[in-house]
């Protein structure tokens, strides 16, 4: 056996969905060859057909989907000609799939042990005791602490990260040849995600399983895969091994995608992100010829608007192939994106002073008998920071860290338990929104996370913006209100006739733009942006962040940017506040946060964020366990339960002291200054002559094609 045969091969695969609008091609001419033990990434924006490919391999297309052409060969046999019975034998035993939402993959009414044991009992017919033993052993292999306890739990009793590990264990139990992972970590927090990614990387080595990893996150693909296929609007546009695709990308779309993600080196003033112009074509309104044509800078009539459009190998006999007719003609070095440099904005006077802000919730848990015991959830504990005019403050933390509660207190929907929020001369901490005057309310506005939730589906876009203008008394006259709505739509770069549309006719990015227009309709001084781009596709993300920055620049607005994504934060924040379990762990200017000394939690966060650059080297810091419940926080330092530097007897009993380093760079940690200062940078960039630390390295780490 000289040449190992591929585990899975897709040949010219085409998949269509049948809807009321007729046949909609979801995937066109898709090719893939997966060798044993190989990990293949499929990356693309929403609607590009990456999940459809996985569903087709599993034969789960449903009633209205069908494979209309091509072949799927599994170990050499065509899956399309197999009978139902043969397919059932393959599914679960030779091919397994892990989905995005772990809770939806587990049966809530069965114990973990039952669900796991079912797999080998059904597929291999082994005895129950043996199956249980094997399940428990596998749980240990996927690094679940205390597998005995987990085996006897129901899915809702364990955390999201553990659930996903159980699902992966379940998929591995039958020793599959092929494992499909469809965005397995999207629903998880970054530090938990990092653990799962570590696990996935080991799978192919330990079990010899081939992987297909589907994700929208280029960074995750770099970390987990050997090869990658980039998809756009149902087509593979570029494929090859990770290094050649990421370093010598030869398709304008891949290039555009990389220019719109904030890798170290992007900077909102010197090197702003470049978004891909235009919009993803709808599946039933794709352009003639190259689907990317209308958005491409290198579009040439007569070449790019014709079909067929085959994949061309970049070099003869290389596996790096690209679906572009002009890739040889384009001068990839000259065609670097044009960054529009901007002057940095100088922050103005102080507008917001948060001082020892504390918010506790009391939960009455009724015990079995009459008397209920009261529990206190410390959602925010002594939050202190200042915000200046035209400054961007990022509040970073994972779910449950209290950032949303903080936003609620600030907006006046909750009363603070203690401390002050000083806006000018006014203390907002105990001033609910009903008691605030019109001027105060209009100075504080918010942008929301979920684009599908931010607009009321029953009202037109224009009327929702107009309501804000009228409510805050900016304009009263109907004509002038309409004018102002049009102006705002211009500012967020939407056509004016969108005012008459309803939210359901808009895409996610467009809705988010309307949300921004609405927030800025009352000329606010401070805008709280709660993860405004995390639900958007990367290319849209770049456009929306760019827009937000521009408006901020023009209005000199203070932006409180709540996010879990450190890449975006590094790109656009001036100052960063890192929160964990309701407390501030570290705060300081952005470059101070991203270079040593770090708080151990910041260090872990930095290491966890996937970066889509093959030159970036990261120190691996994988946290153990999960975030403790805010109703039962650890006694001393909140991070002590997961901290790698934990000092017994100190960290878990005494609250950490605040150590000030540079001007206004504060770390709350028991480690002494020397230890903190001696920390090595987490992110380093290869090919960088001087072993410099992260912040200065960023300037050189430009994702350019050599």
Partner 1 sequence: MASVEVLATPPAAPPVAAAAPPLTLLKRLQRPRVCIALLLLMWLPLTASVMFGGYLGDAFKTWVLLPAIPATILLYVVAVASWRESPIAIIGVSLVFFWLIAAVTVPFLPLVDPNKPIAPFTGVGIEKNGHLFLLGADFKGRDMLSRVLWGCQRVLVWGVTATLVAYVVGSMLGLMAGYLAKWWDQVISFIANVLLSFPVMVLFILILNYLGASGFNIVIAVTFASAPAIMRIVRGLTLDTKTRDYIFAAQTRGEHPLRIMIYELLPNARGPIIVDACLRLGYTTVAITTLTFLGLGLQPPDPDWGLMIKEAAKVAMLWKFSYMLLIPALSVSSLILGFNLMADGLREMSLRD
Residues 5-24 that bind partner 1 (CB under 8 A): 20
Tell me which residue of 307, 283, 310, 305 sits closest to 294, measured CA to CA. Answer: 305
Non-local (6+) Cβ contacts of 337 within 8 A are 255, 259, 274
Site for partner 1 contains 504 (CB under 8 A): yes
Query: Quick check: helix, strand or coil at residue 364?
Result: strand
Instruction: Give the single-character DSSP code of 592.
Output: H
Give the integer Cα–Cα distance in Å for 669 and 667.
6
Residue closer to partner 1 by CB (options 532, 588) is 532
Residue closer to partner 1 by CB (options 137, 413) is 413
Beta strands at 95-98 and 444-447: parallel, antiparallel or unpaired: unpaired
Site for partner 1 contains 534 (CB under 8 A): no
Give the integer Cα–Cα distance in Å for 616 and 685.
4
Main-chain dihedrals φ then ψ at residue 229, nearest 5 degrees: -120, 125
Query: Quick check: helix, strand or coil at residue 668?
Result: strand
Only segment of 53-61, 199-207, 393-401, 450-458 that touches partner 1 (CB under 8 A): 450-458
Instruction: Give the single-character DSSP code of 152.
Output: T
Site for partner 1 contains 448 (CB under 8 A): yes
Residue closer to partner 1 by CB (options 16, 454) is 454
Residue closer to partner 1 by CB (options 306, 496) is 496
Look up residue 60 and give its two tokens. 């789960």
Site for partner 1 contains 405 (CB under 8 A): no
Residue closer to partner 1 by CB (options 31, 430) is 430
Site for partner 1 contains 481 (CB under 8 A): no
In the complex, the smallest distance separating the C-beta of residue 532 from partner 1, rounded to whole angstroms, is 11
Only segment of 129-137, 460-468, 651-659, 669-677 that touches partner 1 (CB under 8 A): 460-468
Candidate list 318, 456, 629, 632; residue touching partner 1; CB under 8 A: 456
Residue closer to partner 1 by CB (options 449, 590) is 449
Give the integer Cα–Cα distance in Å for 230 and 239.
6
Only segment of 249-257, 361-369, 465-473, 552-560 that touches partner 1 (CB under 8 A): 465-473
Site for partner 1 contains 501 (CB under 8 A): yes
In the complex, the smallest distance separating the C-beta of residue 450 from partner 1, rounded to whole angstroms, is 6
Look up residue 449 and give its two tokens. 């996370």
Main-chain dihedrals φ then ψ at residue 524, nearest 5 degrees: -75, 155
Only segment of 35-43, 118-126, 499-507, 537-545 that touches partner 1 (CB under 8 A): 499-507
Q: Is the dihedral of CA 306, 311, 315, 316 positive or negative?
A: negative
Cis status, amide bond into 483, omega within 30 of 0: no
10 Å Cβ neighbour count for 620? Answer: 10
552-556-562-564 Cα dihedral, nearest 10 degrees: 60
In the complex, the smallest distance separating the C-beta of residue 455 from partner 1, rounded to whole angstroms, is 6
Give the integer Cα–Cα distance in Å for 37 and 73.
17
Residue closer to partner 1 by CB (options 270, 413) is 413
Look up residue 397 and give its two tokens. 């933390």
457-461-462-466 Cα dihedral, nearest 10 degrees: 70
Candidate list 145, 348, 495, 657; residue touching partner 1; CB under 8 A: 495
Give the integer Cα–Cα distance in Å for 45 and 48.
6
Residue closer to partner 1 by CB (options 313, 495) is 495
Beta bridge partners of 232: 235
10 Å Cβ neighbour count for 94? Answer: 16
Q: What share of the chain is helix, strand, coil (3-state, %, to 5)?
A: 30, 25, 45
Residue closer to partner 1 by CB (options 239, 454) is 454
In the complex, the smallest distance separating the C-beta of residue 517 from partner 1, rounded to whole angstroms, is 12
Site for partner 1 contains 446 (CB under 8 A): yes
Residue closer to partner 1 by CB (options 211, 421) is 421
Give the integer Cα–Cα distance in Å for 641 and 635.
10
Residues 406-445 that bind partner 1 (CB under 8 A): 411-413, 433-434, 436, 438, 441, 444-445
Q: Position of tokens 């035993």? A: 93
Give the integer Cα–Cα distance in Å for 580 and 641.
12
Only segment of 129-137, 162-170, 456-464, 566-574 that touches partner 1 (CB under 8 A): 456-464
Only segment of 62-70, 186-194, 224-232, 452-460 that touches partner 1 (CB under 8 A): 452-460
Q: Over 397-430, what HEC string results?
A: CCCCCCHHHHHHHHHCCCCCCEEEEEECCEECCC
Candidate list 458, 554, 632, 653; residue touching partner 1; CB under 8 A: 458
In the complex, the smallest distance separating the C-beta of residue 403 from partner 1, rounded to whole angstroms, is 15
In the complex, the smallest distance separating the C-beta of residue 46 from partner 1, rounded to whole angstroms, is 17
Whether 424 contacts 509, CB under 8 Å? no
DSSP code string of 46-69? TTSSHHHHHHHHHT---TTEEEEE
Residue closer to partner 1 by CB (options 438, 696) is 438
In the complex, the smallest distance separating the C-beta of residue 539 from partner 1, rounded to whole angstroms, is 19
What is the per-residue binding string for partner 1 in 263-282, x denoting contact by CB under 8 A? -------------------x
Site for partner 1 contains 453 (CB under 8 A): yes
Judging by beta carbons within 10 Å of its beta carbon (0-12, 13-18, 19+), is residue 458 exposed, middle or buried?
exposed
Say how many residues touch partner 1, by CB under 8 A.
Answer: 34
In the complex, the smallest distance separating the C-beta of residue 472 from partner 1, rounded to whole angstroms, is 8
Angle at 535 between CA 534 and CA 539, to 5 degrees: 80
Residues 279-298 that bind partner 1 (CB under 8 A): 282
Candidate list 359, 518, 575, 659; residue touching partner 1; CB under 8 A: 518
Residue closer to partner 1 by CB (options 378, 443) is 443
Candidate list 457, 649, 691, 706; residue touching partner 1; CB under 8 A: 457
Site for partner 1 contains 505 (CB under 8 A): yes
C-alpha of 70 from chain center = 33
Site for partner 1 contains 533 (CB under 8 A): no
| Alpha helices (runs of H) in 412-503, residue ranges in sequence order | 438-443, 461-471, 478-491
Residue closer to partner 1 by CB (options 294, 655) is 294
Give the integer Cα–Cα distance in Å for 545 and 570.
13
Candidate list 148, 471, 493, 620; residue touching partner 1; CB under 8 A: 471
In the complex, the smallest distance separating the C-beta of residue 183 from partner 1, rounded to whole angstroms, is 23
Site for partner 1 contains 454 (CB under 8 A): yes
In the complex, the smallest distance separating the C-beta of residue 494 from partner 1, rounded to whole angstroms, is 12
Binding site for partner 1 (CB under 8 A): 20, 282, 411-413, 433-434, 436, 438, 441, 444-446, 448-450, 453-459, 464, 467-468, 471-472, 495, 497, 501, 504-505, 518
């Amino acid at each position: 056996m000289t040449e190992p045969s591929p585990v899975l091969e897709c040949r010219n695969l085409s998949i269509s969905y049948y809807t009321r609008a007729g046949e909609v091609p979801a995937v066109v001419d898709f090719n893939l060859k997966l060798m044993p033990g190989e990990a293949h990434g499929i990356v693309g924006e929403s609607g590009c057909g990456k999940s459809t490919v996985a569903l087709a391999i599993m034969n789960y297309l449903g009633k209205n989907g069908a494979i209309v052409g091509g072949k799927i060969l599994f170990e050499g046999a065509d899956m399309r000609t197999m009978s139902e019975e043969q397919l059932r034998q393959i599914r679960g035993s030779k091919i397994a799939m892990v989905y995005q939402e772990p809770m939806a993959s587990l049966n809530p009414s069965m114990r973990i042990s039952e669900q796991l044991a079912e797999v080998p009992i059904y597929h291999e017919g082994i005895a129950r005791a043996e199956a249980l033993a094997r399940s428990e052993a596998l749980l240990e292999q996927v690094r679940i602490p205390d597998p005995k306890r987990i085996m006897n739990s129901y899915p809702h009793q364990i955390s999201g990260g553990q659930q996903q590990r159980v699902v992966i264990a379940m998929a591995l139990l039958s020793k599959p040849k092929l494992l499909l992972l469809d965005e397995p970590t999207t629903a998880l927090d970054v530090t938990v995600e990092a653990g799962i990614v570590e696990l996935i990387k080991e799978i192919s080595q330990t079990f010899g399983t081939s992987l297909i990893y589907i994700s929208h996150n280029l960074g995750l693909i770099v970390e987990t895969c050997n090869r990658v296929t980039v998809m756009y609007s149902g087509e593979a546009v570029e494929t090859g091994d990770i290094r050649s695709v990421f370093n010598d990308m030869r398709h304008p779309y891949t290039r555009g995608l990389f220019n719109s993600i904030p890798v170290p080196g992007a900077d909102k003033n010197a090197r702003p992100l470049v978004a891909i112009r235009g919009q993803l074509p709808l599946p039933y309104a794709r352009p003639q010829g190259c689907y990317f044509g209308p958005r491409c800078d290198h579009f040439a009539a007569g070449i790019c608007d014709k079909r067929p459009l085959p994949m061309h190998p970049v070099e003869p006999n290389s596996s790096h192939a690209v679906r572009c007719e002009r890739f040889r003609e384009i001068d990839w070095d000259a065609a670097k994106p044009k960054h529009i440099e901007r002057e940095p904005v100088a922050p103005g006077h102080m507008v917001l002073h948060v001082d020892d802000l504390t918010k506790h919730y009391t939960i009455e848990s009724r015990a079995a008998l009459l008397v209920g015991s009261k529990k206190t959830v410390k959602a925010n504990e002594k939050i202190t920071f200042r915000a200046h005019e035209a400054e961007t403050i990022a509040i970073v933390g994972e779910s449950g860290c209290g950032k949303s509660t903080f936003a609620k207190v600030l907006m006046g929907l909750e009363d603070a338990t203690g401390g002050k929020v000083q806006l000018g001369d006014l203390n907002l901490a105990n001033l609910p929104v009903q008691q605030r005057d019109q001027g105060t309310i209009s100075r504080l506005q918010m942008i929301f996370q979920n684009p599908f939730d931010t607009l009321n589906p029953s009202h037109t876009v224009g009327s929702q913006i107009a309501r804000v203008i009228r409510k805050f008394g900016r304009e009263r006259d109907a004509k002038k209100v309409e004018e102002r709505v049009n102006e705002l739509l211009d500012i967020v770069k939407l056509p004016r006739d969108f005012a008459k549309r309803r939210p359901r006719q808009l895409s996610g990015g467009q809705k988010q733009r309307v949300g921004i227009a609405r927030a800025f309709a009352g000329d606010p001084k401070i805008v709280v942006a709660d993860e405004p781009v995390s639900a958007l596709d990367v290319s849209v993300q770049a456009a929306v962040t760019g827009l937000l920055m521009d408006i901020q620049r023009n209005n000199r607005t203070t932006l409180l940017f709540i996010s879990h994504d450190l890449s975006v934060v590094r790109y656009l924040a001036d100052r960063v506040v890192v929160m964990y379990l309701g407390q501030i762990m570290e705060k300081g200017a952005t470059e101070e946060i991203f270079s040593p000394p770090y708080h151990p939690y910041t260090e872990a966060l930095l290491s966890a964020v996937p970066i889509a650059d093959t030159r970036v080297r990261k120190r691996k810091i994988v946290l153990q366990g999960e975030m403790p419940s805010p109703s039962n926080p650890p006694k001393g330092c909140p991070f002590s339960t997961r901290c790698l530097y934990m000092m017994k007897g100190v960290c878990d009993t005494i609250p950490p002291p605040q150590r000030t380093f540079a001007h206004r760079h504060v770390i709350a940690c028991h480690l002494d200054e020397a230890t903190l200062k001696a920390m090595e940078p987490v992110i380093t960039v290869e090919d960088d002559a001087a072993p410099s630390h992260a912040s200065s390295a960023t300037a050189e780490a430009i994702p350019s094609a050599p």
